[in-house]
Amino acid sequence: MSAPPDLPDLVSRAFEVSRRAGNVSFCRNETGRLLATLAATRTGTLAEFGTGCGVGTAWLRSGVPDHARILTAELDPQLAGAAAEIFADDPRVEVLAADWATLLDKGPFSLLFLDSGETSEVRVDSVADLVEPGGLVVLDDFTPCAGWPPVEYGRVDTLREEWLTDERFVAVEVMVAPDASAVIATRR
């Protein structure tokens, strides 16, 4: 049995910064590899809402082609500052210490990465127009669901349901680990 692939140096650095900052909420490696793979297919501007200390951003950057750029916004100024240090010498990554709404006039984006844990911010109607036609939206932090309608914690998961059924997108839920899934939606 072979070992899993090594982490990109930038991702390892982001994990270290995250640990030092005491931030324990960050992008899983399985989701990160998915992000890097999807980012490799993109051009233009990619965006992330909820940077934390930059682990998800590092995964995006590890895959993004040279002609694309990444904008990411983090509400907590301490976490945004920590993430900004990681990318200080990278002209293709801009970290903003701001609410995600500051990115509203900077789109449309070719890929938008959102944390499903912040449900008020990731509703389809709030962000659909931020994604260019053919652009991708990736939402992580779902628990896999075997039935329909999707049920999580004993109630219908309306966030997952609205992303999987919105007619502006073609969407799929993918397992990234036995206990984690992500929704990938492509703008029509």
Q: What pLDDT is stored for residue 126 in this prediction?
A: 86
Is the predicted pLDDT of residue 18 greater than 80, yes or no? yes
Tens digits of residue pLDDT in 125-184: 988 999 999 999 999 989 888 888 888 777 778 889 999 999 999 999 999 999 999 999
Q: What pLDDT is stored for residue 172 in this prediction?
A: 96
Domain boundaries, the chain: 9-187
CATH number for the region 9-187 comes to 3.40.50.150
The gap from C-alpha 102 to its chain's centroid, in whole angstroms, comes to 17
Q: What average pLDDT score do residues 34-43 get?
A: 98
Is the predicted pLDDT of residue 58 greater than 60, yes or no? yes
Query: What is the model's pTM?
Result: 0.91
Is residue 102 within 8 Å of residue 77, measured between CB atoms? no
Please give the Cα distance from 88 to 98 (Å, whole number): 17
Comparison of pLDDT for 19 and 134, the residue scoring more: 134
Q: Which residue has the tokens 């916004």?
A: 73
Please give the Cα distance from 53 to 92 (Å, whole number): 17
Is the predicted pLDDT of residue 22 greater than 90, yes or no? no
Q: What pLDDT is stored for residue 120 in this prediction?
A: 54
Q: What pLDDT is stored for residue 11 in this prediction?
A: 95
Tens digits of residue pLDDT in 71-124: 999 999 999 999 999 999 999 999 999 988 888 899 999 999 997 665 556 689
